[in-house]
Amino acid sequence: MTAPKKLFIKTYGCQMNVYDSERMAEAMGGRGYVETDRPDDADMILLNTCHIREKAAEKVYSELGRYKGLKAEKPDLKIGVAGCVAQAEGEEIMRRQPLVDLVVGPQSYHRLPELEAKARAGEKALDTDFPEEDKFDHLKARPKAKRAPAAFLTVQEGCDKFCAFCVVPYTRGAEVSRPAARVLAEARDLVERGVREVTLLGQNVNAYHGHEGGLAGLIRELAKVDGLDRIRYTTSHPNDMDDALIAAHGDVAELMPYLHLPVQSGSDRILKRMNRSHTAESYLRLIERIRAARPDIVMSGDFIVGFPEETDADFEATMALVEAVRYGYAYSFKYSARPGTPAAERPMVDAAVADDRLQRLQALITRHQREIQQEMVGREVSVLVEREGRVPGQMLGKSEYLHAVHIEASTAAIGDIARAKVVDSKSNSLGARHL
């Protein structure tokens, strides 16, 4: 019996890349591959890349450099680059790193098995097309193996917003939504394998139009799936937060009281320069409407500081918006230019000034996060148990508000949704007692 070939995948970036890596592994299963967590044990190494963070491409080249010795020891080892860096720099990757055998963009990874076959035949394989066919139609059906109780499920890809700082429209393409029937079928399959919570993914997920009722309509259909007890979605754009979706937060019990809704800046001048197409005031009024529908909702956001031409007054407007919203979670970054985007050609803010602003913003966000966690002490929460803790009887999971929770002296099993009373707030988690 021939031993299976081994596939090592390193995933960078967002939840969509995590989902894509799972599907790539499944696609390569048809070529006789099984996954390994050791690159030195692999017959194929695949880097699934992200182009959002600073110096993303350089990090990929640095990682590839680590495999030169391994490639010399194992000439039959195949090395591939997938994802958004692959899409943006496919030919350059091939030219700059001859050890790379194949490059595949995020919309073409259903073709990975045939690209691997070309590489095995000694050819260099490159596919960064935006194919007309739906990649999800061509991927293997998911195997029926048991799954962790929480899973990602991509429902929408691409973005038409063209924010001035963002490469997603260029690397992921135009907005496209998966038909609701296919999403529902995949959700039922996940539930059959032990999943109780799905997070619906999209670069601009609330622009989903694969159901006549939009994302709200899809959520209401998913809520009818027996055994699917929790639904989340990310990432959203304020301009696509419609009345139906706001209402769903109020009356769909399965939709968890947590929402990631990036704003990026509190300055109208900077928002306009970012091409965000909303104002700070319209965003704050939107938050009010969402909280009116679901008063206990925990908000999350994204912020960029040091955007080209940002003044002290612009930054203080961001600080004021953060004070007004009080985010339970937020992600803040110092602006870094992405070649080919409009903002990349504009005058940069002094690096030391941007660093100082980032530290001040992160300190404020951290204070709010800890205050909101402290306010949870004494409250009862529902915890989806995901794994065992480090001490006997301790179980770890996520509350409905996405807080990490350690339940002590718990009799719950992995996959249970346990009621627990919060007794302690730690820096990034809650301690609780099983009820």
Residue positions forming the annotated binding site for [4Fe-4S] cluster: 14, 50, 84, 159, 163, 166
Secondary structure, 3-state, 259-306: EECCCECCCHHHHHHHCCCCCHHHHHHHHHHHHHHCCCCEEEEEEEEC
Q: Which two tokens stand for residue 377?
A: 């002490």
How much of the chain is helix, strand and coil, in % rounded to 5?
Answer: 40, 25, 40
Closest CA to 151 of 253, 18, 36: 18
- Strands 258-260 and 33-35 come out as unpaired
Q: Fill in the DSSP letter of residue 255.
A: B
The annotation places the binding site at 14, 50, 84, 159, 163, 166
Closest CA to 99 of 128, 63, 127: 63
Report the C-alpha gap between 192 and 203 in whole angstroms: 27
End-to-end, the C-alpha distance of the chain in Å comes to: 51
